[in-house]
């Protein structure tokens, strides 16, 4: 029998090559291509998530810088809100503007979630209305947030002017509740 030109070794190599080609093609079509499509989908989702994350991170940084700026700009107000009102300290700080200054008993006024309001009624004996205006300027620079309710009532007797007005002192309830415990 005459050999047709293919040796047994070449046939084995050809069979091995064809089987390897079939394995590679089936691996490509059944595993690589579907996983590649899934990879591209997940990669595009990841890019979208990364963009969104960067946008949120930028928003967070902008908000944080705005918060720091507002805290720096309003540090006196924040400190004033956290300072508990003291009648003795108030009288000591503002006695200089009046001949006599008396505060009525501190009564808790409105209460809501934001802050506690104390109604403080004052009666003072002054020699000039200018001291009231100096007092109002000093209140703006005090350690508390105070609003003076107008009108201020003046009554003159001889060389002395009596003034009566009411004030509201605002305080942070969280600080007051924690300090009272």
Each residue's pLDDT tens digit, 5-38: 778 898 999 999 999 999 999 988 888 888 888 8
User: Looking at residues 40-57, what average pLDDT do you find?
Assistant: 95
- Find out if CATH 3.40.50.2000 is the number for domain 83-180: no
**Domains in the chain: boundaries:** 1-73, 83-180
Q: Give kind and range of the element (H or E) at residue 74.
A: none
Overall pTM > 0.75? no
Q: 33-73 and 75-82 are packed helices; what angle lies between their axes, rounded to 10 degrees?
A: 80
Q: State the DSSP string of 109-175.
A: EEE-SS-EEEEEEEEEEES-THHHHHHHHHHHTSSSEEEEEEEEEEEEETTEEEEEEEEEEEE-HHH
The total of other beta-carbon atoms located within 10 Å of residue 116's CB is 20
pLDDT digits (tens, 9 = 90+) for 144-160: 887 777 777 777 777 77
Q: Is pLDDT at 176 greater than 80 in this prediction?
A: no
Q: Give kind and range of the element (H or E) at residue 73.
A: helix 33-73
């Amino acid at each position: 029998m005459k050999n047709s030109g293919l040796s047994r070794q070449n046939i084995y190599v050809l069979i091995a090559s064809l089987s390897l080609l079939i394995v590679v093609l089936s691996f490509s079509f059944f595993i690589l291509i579907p996983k590649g499509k899934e990879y591209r989908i997940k990669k595009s989702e990841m890019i979208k998530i990364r963009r969104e994350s960067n946008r949120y991170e930028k928003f967070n940084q902008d908000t944080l810088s705005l918060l720091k700026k507002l805290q720096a700009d309003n540090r006196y107000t924040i400190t004033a809100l956290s300072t508990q009102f003291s009648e003795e300290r108030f009288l000591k700080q503002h006695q200089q503007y009046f001949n006599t200054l008396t505060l009525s008993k501190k009564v808790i006024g409105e209460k809501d979630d934001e802050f506690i309001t104390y109604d403080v009624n004052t009666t003072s004996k002054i020699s000039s209305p200018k001291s009231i205006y100096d007092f109002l300027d000093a209140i703006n620079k005090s350690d508390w947030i105070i609003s003076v309710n107008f009108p201020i009532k003046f009554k003159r007797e001889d060389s002395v002017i009596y003034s009566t007005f009411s004030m509201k002192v605002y305080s942070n309830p969280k600080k007051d509740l924690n300090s009272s415990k």
